[in-house]
Amino acid sequence: MPERTGYPDGAPCWPELTTSDLALATRFYQKVFGWSYRDLGSQVWGYKICLAGGKPVAALAPPPVGLESGPSAWMTYFSTSDLEASVVRAEANDGKLIILPTLLRGFARIAVAVDPEGAPFGLWQAAGQPGCRLHSEPGAMCWSELHARNPKLVDPFYRALFGYEAKQVGDGVEFDYVLWKIRHKAVCGRVRMPYELEDLSPQWVTYLIVPDCEQSIDLVVREGGRVLIGEYELRGTRVAVVSDPQGAIFAVCQHTPAPHLTSPPPTQNL
């Protein structure tokens, strides 16, 4: 497995699940992805590092103090070489900081904010760990995608924050899907949610690699999760959107030598 040693500024680099039931989440994701865990203990908020092949690929964490009533959800961290400057840009462009810059000892300096629509995201300045040590390998992240309601609010925000180049790959009306690029390489995407999905909050959705999509869907259901979008083909690979027993949404993507996740999923079925 090729190991990642760094990520460019603005690239998704670390997925984190916030959950009120760490024990349940630990069992569920171990069954689905085969993860083992390294517990950083109560001094680091009960933070639990998820390992694939012994390499850090994600984290499970309890909700921050004061946000205990929030839903379980996956969140994407973005790499930055200057955490304070990124925080300033986020706040200057109508983002809101919800976790001040904090040291995750041995890993990174982090902060958490919400964009102008309220979708949470993290900022990650490496301090021992660049983020996921594996990418696009079984058990690891391969893509992150913002599900948004109002592109006119969020597109300028992320462009100002990370300097993304944008490429519309839908028609901008029925399918409004934008690839966000760094130095001409797509690193993540933004899809406009259909208006009828009024109960779904704007959020970043993490895509995780599995050896076999169909088998992983079966495991999700067997362990108490739900299938939100059944298995479909996307640029030569198989993808499904699911949720865990507490409702946290994520996607599974069947491993191929080079998955190309640059088309919008059928989000109208969520």
3-state class (DSSP) for residue 44: helix
State the SS3 of 163-227.
Answer: CCEEEECCCCCCCCEEEEEECCEEEEEEEECCCCCCCCCCEEEEEEEECCHHHHHHHHHHCCCEE
3-state class (DSSP) for residue 162: helix
User: Comparing C-alpha atoms, which of 168, 133, 109 is closest to residue 56?
Assistant: 133
Q: Cβ distance 224 to 245 under 8 Å? A: yes
Q: Cβ distance 58 to 135 under 8 Å? A: no
pLDDT by residue (tens digit) across 148-185?
999 999 999 999 999 999 999 988 888 899 999 999 99
Burial code (b: 16+ CB inside 10 Å, e: under 16) for 129-168 equals: bbbbbbbbbbbbbbbbbbbbbebeebbebbeebbebeeee
Q: Distance between CA 139 and CA 141 in Å, rounded?
A: 7
Average pLDDT over the chain, rounded to an integer: 92
**Whether pLDDT at 9 is above 80:** yes
User: Comparing C-alpha atoms, which of 123, 187, 126, 107 is closest to residue 161?
Assistant: 123
The residues, ordered by sequence, that sit 6+ positions from 171 with a Cβ below 8 Å of its Cβ are none
Mean pLDDT of 51-61: 97
3-state class (DSSP) for residue 19: coil
pLDDT band at 268 (very low <50, low <70, confident <90, very high): very low
Reported pTM: 0.93
pLDDT by residue (tens digit) across 102-155?
999 889 999 999 999 999 999 999 999 999 999 999 999 999 999 999 999 999
Q: Cβ distance 169 to 231 under 8 Å? A: no
What domains, with CATH codes, occur in the chain?
12-126 (3.10.180.10), 141-269 (3.10.180.10)
Residue 139 is classified by DSSP as T
pLDDT by residue (tens digit) across 194-232?
876 778 899 999 999 999 999 999 999 999 999 999 999
Ranges assigned E (strand) in the chain: 12-18, 36-39, 48-52, 55-61, 73-79, 96-104, 108-114, 120-126, 141-148, 165-168, 177-182, 185-192, 203-210, 226-234, 237-243, 249-254
3-state class (DSSP) for residue 85: helix
User: Comparing C-alpha atoms, which of 20, 147, 23 is closest to residue 71?
Assistant: 20
